[in-house]
Amino acid sequence: MKRILIIKLGALGDFCLAFGAFSAIRAAHSRAEITLLTTPPFAPLAERAPWFDRIAIDRRAPWWDLAQLWLLTRRLRGFDFVYDLQTSARSASYFRLAGRPPWSGIARGASHPHANPARNRMHTLERQREQLEMAGLRDFPPPDLAWLAAGGRRFDLPSPYALLVPGAAAHRPAKRWPAERFGALARHLAALGLVPVVVGAGEEAALGAMIRAAAPGAIDLVGKTKLPDLGPLAAGAALAVGNDTGPMHLIAALGRPTLVLFSAESEPALTAPRGPGGSLVDVLAERNLADLTLERVVAALPSPHRRQPDPENPSPCPPSASPTDPPAASKSP
């Protein structure tokens, strides 16, 4: 095989969960020219990765846009094998546009289908591995993520610091723990000697401002980072706490102690971030995140940050925030 295409369009969390699959495909085709078809937000990250020779852009234009459809068809043609890691209805339809080449995915007529009727009940990591095994891959080397920690800007941050990720998709507000509780958590972390650092997209600026107002010692980087900047920020963090959103996947992939807050909007067993080698991360689930108390989050902080601060520098949490026999954080299966 000389030319390989990988399809992975997004979102960020799914892109990060595909690092292992990318690494396995590169190991299986060490001498091939590998092209990644992705969407514009992830191109800067993909360009830094060691697994791809070329990056092709899919703007996911509507089907009636014939000019874009023609361009997409050109980008899909001429490959000796295609790994569709997006496995959506849209990406499966690319099989015919590509001229029906040898194909790993769920497209009808694919030469190497992921023929497991229970695939949608598997965690993304295990689902992708099984898909690749059914395509004949046997070697799954741990992905080298040194490039991820080395890319982007390095902010001059005091150490130690903790990352807070209060945002989530704007159209899914139920995935967000209330910003005022992130503010109280920031005060608690500061009392433990950790500098709270808030990250997020520009449209989440109000969340960063609320946390900064509640915890004046916090550093607000919301809207000030690009995707490649998250790697160095994550690599230097003592821990991270955030909602079920893309940056938490990137932070977890770099092996940082991570606590992810889940609502009923998503299922940790299927989509929770994973650490190096597929290791589990700390997960705290509450059907309605408005019901998730500060004391439960404090109790679930990754060790050694579960301890209470020194009595001479008391936690800003109210007395009731030091629960007796607090519930432990759950783990994704």
- Listed in sequence order, the residues at least 6 apart from 89 whose beta carbon sits closer than 8 Å to its beta carbon are none
Among the residue ranges 22-36, 58-72, 297-311, the one predicted with the least confidence is: 297-311
Report d(CA 160, CA 125) in Å as an integer.
31
315 vs 46 pLDDT, higher one: 46
Question: Once rounded to an integer, what is the mean pLDDT over residues 26-53?
Answer: 96
What confidence score (pLDDT) does residue 10 get? Answer: 86
Q: Is 70 exceeded by the pLDDT of residue 307?
A: no
Omega before residue 56 within 30° of 0, cis: no
Q: Is 50 exceeded by the pLDDT of residue 216?
A: yes
What confidence score (pLDDT) does residue 308 get? Answer: 43
**What is each CA distance from 149 to 8, 72, 98, in whole angstroms?**
21, 32, 35
pLDDT tens per residue, range 227-271 = 999 999 999 999 999 999 999 999 999 999 999 999 999 999 999
How would you write 143-162 as a 3-class SS string?
A: CCCHHHHHCCCCCCCCCCEE
What confidence score (pLDDT) does residue 304 get? Answer: 62
Question: 197 pLDDT band (50/70/90 cuts)?
Answer: very high
Could you tell me the strand order of the sheet in which 112-113 lies? Answer: 54-57, 33-38, 3-7, 81-84, 103-105, 112-113
For the chain, list the domains and their CATH numbers.
3-144 (3.40.50.2000), 152-331 (3.40.50.2000)
Q: Is 60 exceeded by the pLDDT of residue 331?
A: no
What confidence score (pLDDT) does residue 306 get? Answer: 55
pLDDT tens per residue, range 148-173 = 998 777 788 999 999 999 999 888 89
Q: Is 70 exceeded by the pLDDT of residue 3?
A: yes
